[in-house]
Chains A and B, each alone.
Chain A
Amino acid sequence: MGAQLREKAAIVGIGETEYSKESGRTELALACEAIRKAADDAGISVGEIDGLVRYDMDPVDEVALTSSAGLRNLRWMSHTGYGGTGGNAVIVHAAAAIAAGLATTVVCYRSLNERSGARYGQGSTWMSEKVGGFEQMQMPWGLLTPAQAFGMFARRHMIEYGWTSEQFGAVAVALRTHGSMNPRAMMRKPITVADHQASRMIADPLHLLDCCIESDGGCAVIVTTAERARSLRKPPAWIMGAAQGSGTRARGIIFRDDLATTEAHFTAKDVYASAGVGPADIDAVMIYDHFTPFIPMALEAYGFCGRGEGGPFVEDGRIHFDGELPVNTHGGNHSEAYIHGLPHIIEATRQLRGESSAQVPGCEVVLSCSAVAQLSAAVILRKD
Chain B
Amino acid sequence: MLRGMPLPRPDHDTQPFWDAAQEGRYVVPRCAACGVGHWPPGPMCPHCFGDEIAWGDAPTRGSVYSWVVATHPVAEVLVDQVPYAIALIDLEPGVRVVGNVVGCDPSAIQAGMAVEVFFEEREEGVRVPNFRIPSGNLEA
Contacts and interface: CB of A to CB of B under 8 A. Distances in A.
A interface, over-half SS: mixed
Interface in B54-76: 65-72, 74-76
B88 interface: yes
B74 A123 contact: yes
Contacts, number: 124
A138 B48 CA distance: 26
B111 A152 contact: no
A121 B74 CA distance: 7
A152 B69 contact: no
Contact of A129 (B6, B65, B71): B6
A159 B72 CA distance: 23
B132 to A, nearest CB: 13
A257 B98 CA distance: 14
Contact of B86 (A129, A143, A156, A252): A143
A132 interface: yes
22 contacts: A123-B74, A123-B75, A124-B74, A124-B76, A129-B7, A131-B9, A135-B6, A136-B6, A136-B10, A136-B14, A140-B2, A140-B7, A140-B128, A141-B130, A143-B98, A145-B74, A151-B68, A155-B66, A159-B111, A204-B71, A252-B40, A254-B88
Shortest 6 CB-CB contacts between residues of A and residues of B:
A123-B74, A123-B75, A151-B68, A204-B69, A136-B8, A130-B9
Interface of B: 2, 5-11, 14, 39-41, 46, 65-72, 74-76, 78, 81, 83-84, 86, 88, 94, 96-100, 106, 111, 122, 128, 130
Given A133-B11, A147-B68, 19 more contacts: A122-B75, A123-B75, A123-B78, A124-B75, A129-B6, A132-B8, A142-B86, A147-B72, A151-B68, A155-B66, A155-B67, A202-B71, A203-B68, A204-B69, A251-B40, A252-B40, A255-B96, A257-B94, A259-B88
